[in-house]
Amino acid sequence: MITNDGSLRRIAVVGGGISGLTAAYELAKARQRGAPISEFLIEADSRLGGVVSTDHLEGFVLEGGPDSFISEKPEAAALCRELGLGDSLIGSNDEGRQTYILHNGHLVPIPDGLMLLAPTRIFPVLNSTLLPLSSKLMVATEWFVTPTKARDTDESIGTFVRRHFGKAMLENIVDPLLAGVYGGDAKSLSVESVLPRFREMENQYGSLVRGALAARRRTKKAVKKGESAGTTINSLFVTLKDGLGELIKALEARLEPARIHLGERVVSIERADHHWKSPYRIRCEGNQTYDVDAVILAMPVHACAPFFSFLNESSKEAFREIPYSSAITVNLGYDEEVAAGLPAGFGFLVPAKERCRLLACTFVHNKFPHRAPPGKALLRCFLGGTRDPQVMELSNNEILLLVRRELRNILGLDAMPMFSLVSRWPSAMAQYNVGHRDRITRIANLIEKYPRLYLAGNAYSGIGISDCIRTGRAAAKQALDI
Ligand SMILES: Cc1cc2nc3c(=O)[nH]c(=O)nc-3n(C[C@H](O)[C@H](O)[C@H](O)COP(=O)(O)OP(=O)(O)OC[C@H]3O[C@@H](n4cnc5c(N)ncnc54)[C@H](O)[C@@H]3O)c2cc1C
């Protein structure tokens, strides 16, 4: 249990998702190296991992939350290697990387060479039925846009894309991509916070097409360098052979069990009065308290707001200003007969105008090796996001019925799945809406007034797993530097 030896600084990490686990792991390493600290982790749930949740069933690997990390951000793969999981890292099957968009009820391939929102190859875009002629003309002439005065005010991805490529590119391609990845929508998400490198490209080149081409050349060079050094998995997405749950298990294994407090929900954080030896008192449901010298809050920022007994209501508001969306994933397993009739490729995205409740569906058996037994199929459907928060009110049965109905309409898939798994993640995805940077600055300014209080998680500088790992590490470093 926690030592009361006054010579050790007690550091609590609240939240046992990937952000908090990384922070706790960094602190444990520092203690083992001799840092005079005593760290522990408090998690409300009965399990660690937060939204990272892997199940194994009949030879399938089912990811209820995230399924991979993008190789462009190195932190997650580096942590896996550090934890001895390097041999389990696998890349996506990029040779079959086709993704489709549902367009007027049919699956249409996303044109080759599209770098999120900027085409790096013009002819596939000109040939695509996803865009009308007016959009194609805009794409073709965007090449000639020259840099103007650098923009320093934020704007939505929606207006940014419309300026460069027009309405159809936004509605038919970019918006469904954002709904699938961020659970958000283009008219609200901030270009400065979600796609900063496209804002930089615009400032540098004017044209995003030319900017994206330059970026692609740099990536190719970097991959070549990595290949010769034998360090890079040359795929867009990277994951672990037996699922991302392995990363959680490996982190848990590095923490002493007595320093993990599961099933304890923090309800308040109080500031010390002069009788306490430590500056913060953490109170959990059931009135268990911990007096600590430092706290790392690694949980959704909206959930932190009610904690701070020492903040007034208007200051607490700053923590509620970052909106979150909810997500549901549905894993469906199919036998060989069904698998044979499914399309090739990684899956499909659904624009809002198609009036479906599905946001996206991944053909997991195509996207990654080792996720389904040979010949069988695993589909992973996404629902919710800012487009359809009401879906959270449906029962699992209702969700399965609606997913099966929409898959029947889109893929002609009528067969009963061998099994299904519905995973719910209420208010889990931070939305970096226009003005996000100002909101973060307000929170940082508030927190700065309270020494030894640190934040980590997906609300601040990226929602991906690598981003969360980076914030967990940074918070631990700050806590150790005091
Ligand atoms: C469906 C889905 C798919 C995703 N796909 C990908 C992907 O493929 N690739 C990728 O890089 N990212 C993906 N993401 C994003 C990424 O997974 C998350 O941003 C990241 O895992 C968040 O980790 P976290 O530790 O910050 O938060 P969480 O995982 O939310 O963990 C927070 C923890 O805090 C605990 N907690 C909350 N309140 C309290 C309290 N009062 N007291 C104690 N504990 C508390 C919670 O129980 C939870 O365990 C996805 C997210 C979702 C939801």
For residue 290, the domain's CATH number is 3.50.50.60
pLDDT digit string, tens, across residues 272-307: 876 777 899 999 999 899 999 999 999 999 999 888
Q: What is the pLDDT at residue 96?
A: 87
Task: With beta carbons less than 8 A apart as the criterion, state whether 467 and 70 touch.
Answer: no
User: Which of these three, 170, 204, 229, is where a domain ends?
Assistant: 229
Measure 66 CA to ligand 1 centroid, in angstroms: 9
In a mutational test of the pocket of ligand 1, which residue from 22, 41, 51, 329 has the highest number of ligand atoms less than 8 Å from its CB? Answer: 51
Same domain, 196 and 212: yes
The answer to the question of residue 201 being in a domain is yes
Provide the number of structural domains found in the chain: 3
Which domain-ending residue is among 229, 263, 297? 229
pLDDT at residue 227, rounded to an integer: 55
What pLDDT was estimated at residue 225? Answer: 64
Q: How far is the CA of 51 from the centre of ligand 1 (A)?
A: 4
Least confident of 193-207, 215-229, 413-427, 436-450: 215-229
* 119 lies in the same domain as 225: yes
Distance 17 CA to ligand 1 centre (A): 5
Exposed, middle or buried, 191 (CB in 10 Å: 0-12/13-18/19+)? buried
Q: What is the CATH number of the domain that holds 199?
A: 1.10.3110.10
Q: In which domain, by residue range, is 299 found?
A: 9-50+244-322+433-481
Which residue's CA is the nearest one to ligand 1's atom 50? Answer: 66
Domain boundary among 200, 229, 258: 229
| Residue 168 placed within a domain | yes
**Does residue 91 lie in a domain region?**
no
| Minimal-distance CA residue to ligand 1 atom 11 | 464
| Choice between 374 and 122, residue whose per-residue pLDDT is larger | 374
Say whether both 267 and 315 belong to one domain: yes
Q: Which residues pair with 49 in a beta bridge?
A: 17
**Do 317 and 328 share a domain, yes or no?**
no
* Six-digit token string for 274: 């002069």
Same domain, 297 and 255: yes
Same domain, 41 and 118: no
Q: Is residue 106 part of a domain?
A: no
Atom of ligand 1 nearest to the CA of 19: 25
For the segment 192-205, the average pLDDT, to the nearest whole number, is 94
Calculate how far, in angstroms, residue 469's C-alpha sits from the geometric centre of ligand 1: 11
**164 token code pair:** 């460069």
Question: Once rounded to an integer, what is the mean pLDDT over residues 23-48?
Answer: 98
CA of 64 to the centre of ligand 1 (A): 11
Q: Do residue 195 and residue 209 come from a single domain?
A: yes
Residue-level pLDDT at 412: 97
| 1 has a pLDDT exceeding 60 | no
Residue 447 has pLDDT above 80, yes or no: yes
Question: What is the structure's pLDDT at 7?
Answer: 77
Testing ligand 1's pocket by substitution, the residue of 80, 465, 467 carrying the most ligand atoms inside 8 A of its CB is 465
Which stretch of 302-311, 352-361, 383-392 has the lowest confidence by average pLDDT? 302-311
Residue 383 and residue 289 share a domain:
no
| Mean pLDDT to the nearest integer, 339-365 | 96
Q: Which atom of ligand 1 is nearest to the CA of 382?
A: 1
Return the ligand 1 atom nearest residue 328 CA.
1
- Where residue 338 sits, what CATH number does that domain have? 3.90.660.20
Q: Is 45:260 a contact under the CB 8 Å cutoff?
A: no
How many percent of the chain have pLDDT more than 70?
96
Nearest ligand 1 atom to alpha carbon 471? 26
Pocket test for ligand 1, best of 46, 264, 299 (most atoms within 8 A of CB): 299
Mark whether 222 and 346 lie in a shared domain: no
Q: Do residue 221 and residue 123 come from a single domain?
A: yes
The binding-site residues of ligand 1, defined as CB within 6 angstroms of any ligand atom, are 14-20, 42-45, 50-52, 65-69, 265-266, 298-300, 303, 327, 329, 425, 428-429, 457-458, 463-465, 468
- Model confidence, pTM: 0.94
**CA 67 to ligand 1: nearest atom:** 8
pLDDT digits (tens, 9 = 90+) for 213-262: 998 888 777 666 655 444 467 788 999 999 999 999 999 999 999 999 99
52 CA distance to ligand 1 middle (Å)? 7
The residues pairing with 240 across neighbouring beta strands, listed in sequence order, are 89
Q: Whose CA is nearest to atom 35 of ligand 1?
A: 15
What is the pLDDT confidence band of residue 2, given thresholds at 50, 70 and 90? very low
Q: Using an 8 Å Cβ cutoff, are 100 and 108 in contact?
A: yes
22 in a structural domain: yes
Average pLDDT value over all residues in the chain: 93
Q: Are residues 334 and 397 in the same domain?
A: yes
Residues 409 and 338 grouped into a single domain? yes
Q: Token pair for residue 379?
A: 């589909």
% of the chain residues with pLDDT over 90 = 81
Closest C-alpha among 337, 414, 429 to residue 383: 429
State the closest ligand 1 atom to the C-alpha of 51, by its place in the atom list counted from 1: 29
- What sign does the dihedral 354-359-361-362 (CA atoms) show? positive
Q: Of the given ranges (272-276, 322-326, 346-350, 430-434), which has the lowest mean pLDDT?
A: 272-276
Q: Is the dihedral of CA 294, 296, 301, 306 positive or negative?
A: negative
Residue 68 within a domain: no
Atom of ligand 1 nearest to the CA of 20: 25
136 in a structural domain: yes
Residue 476, domain member (yes or no)? yes
Q: Are the beta carbons of 406 and 358 closer than 8 angstroms? A: yes
Tokens of 85: 């999981």
> Mean pLDDT across the stretch 404-423?
97
| Cα(337) to centroid(ligand 1), Å | 36
Distance of alpha carbon 466 from alpha carbon 237, whole angstroms: 12
